[in-house]
Amino acid sequence: MATIKKGILGGFSGKVGTVIGGNWRGVDYMRSLPKVSTKPATALQAEQRLKFATVIAFLKPISALITKGYQSVTGARTPLNAAVSYHIKKAIAGVAPEFTIDPSKVVFSQGDIAGAWAPQVESTVPASIVFGWQDNTGTGLAEGDDQAILLVYNAAKEQYVSLENAALRSAGQVNLILPASFTGDEVNCWMSFSSSDGKRMATSVYISSVTVA
């Protein structure tokens, strides 16, 4: 059953016969019910679905970070839609059915402020990683009070550690504490920056993998 929210001339939400009505980002829409296909998926369709599932599984645990990182996305697409589209096109590695994510192609934020210069990571103290970078304050839109965003992924455990507002751009270094269970594991590391008010982003960079001390 459909519900008319603004009288007979307004949009509606729900199903009327073979038509579905709703509202997306303030825009009323109508669409027909999808037809159920009885045809088996082609090899290409099956491959695309597998790529989609691989990307979704990778990004879903950091969906909140993706929402912030892709906040500049406009139009009908959501930040997560945009991130999924990018990673399907650019970050898939391997062949079906063994698709994986290439960590060097992962981008968790996109924007126009300067990213990290000469980023590096090392782990010498148990269950921690030191992130270092060159202070590039004054380059383009880079400000000294931009906030570092750190991301670490442990593929063996399929777990993320992320930290927003980790340090000022001008600091040039910050230590990230990890779970003790990460000791001895190889992890992948990325970083980015946001403006001090969180409204502008840099494009994130992949740094490298490192074995946690």
- Placement of tokens 């600091």 in the chain: 171
pLDDT digits (tens, 9 = 90+) for 33-52: 666 656 677 888 999 999 99
Tell me: the pLDDT tens digits for 119-169?
999 999 999 999 999 999 999 999 999 999 999 999 999 999 999 999 999
pLDDT score, position 199: 97
Contacts of 118 (CB under 8 A, 6+ apart): 133, 134
pLDDT, tens digit (0-9, with 9 covering 90-100), for 65-99: 999 999 999 888 999 999 999 999 999 999 999 99
pLDDT of residue 77: 92
* Neighbouring residues of 75: CB distance < 8 A, sequence distance ≥ 6: none
CA-atom Rg of the chain in angstroms: 21
pLDDT-based confidence at residue 16 (cuts at 50, 70, 90): low
What digits encode the pLDDT tens for the residues 166-188?
999 999 999 999 999 999 999 99
pLDDT of 143 = 98
Contacts 24+ apart (CB under 8 A), 85-92: 87/55, 87/58, 87/59, 88/48, 88/51, 88/52, 88/55, 91/55, 92/51, 92/54, 92/55
Pair of tokens at residue 117: 């210069």
Is the peptide bond between 97 and the residue preceding it cis, with omega within 30 degrees of 0? Answer: yes
Q: State residue 41's pLDDT score.
A: 73
What pLDDT is recorded for position 18?
64
CA atoms within 13 A on the CB side of 175: 7
Q: What is the pLDDT of residue 37?
A: 58
Report the DSSP beta bridge partners of residue 160.
153
The percentage of residues in the chain with a pLDDT greater than 90, rounded to a whole number, is 78
- Identify the pLDDT of residue 6: 58
Per-residue pLDDT at 34: 64
Q: What is the pLDDT of residues 189-201, one digit of tens each?
A: 999 999 999 999 9
Degrees (nearest 5) of the Cα angle 89, 96, 205?
Answer: 35
Show the domains of the chain with their CATH numbers: 3-32 (no CATH), 43-105 (no CATH), 117-211 (2.60.40.10)
3-state helix, strand, coil in the chain (%, to 5): 25, 35, 45
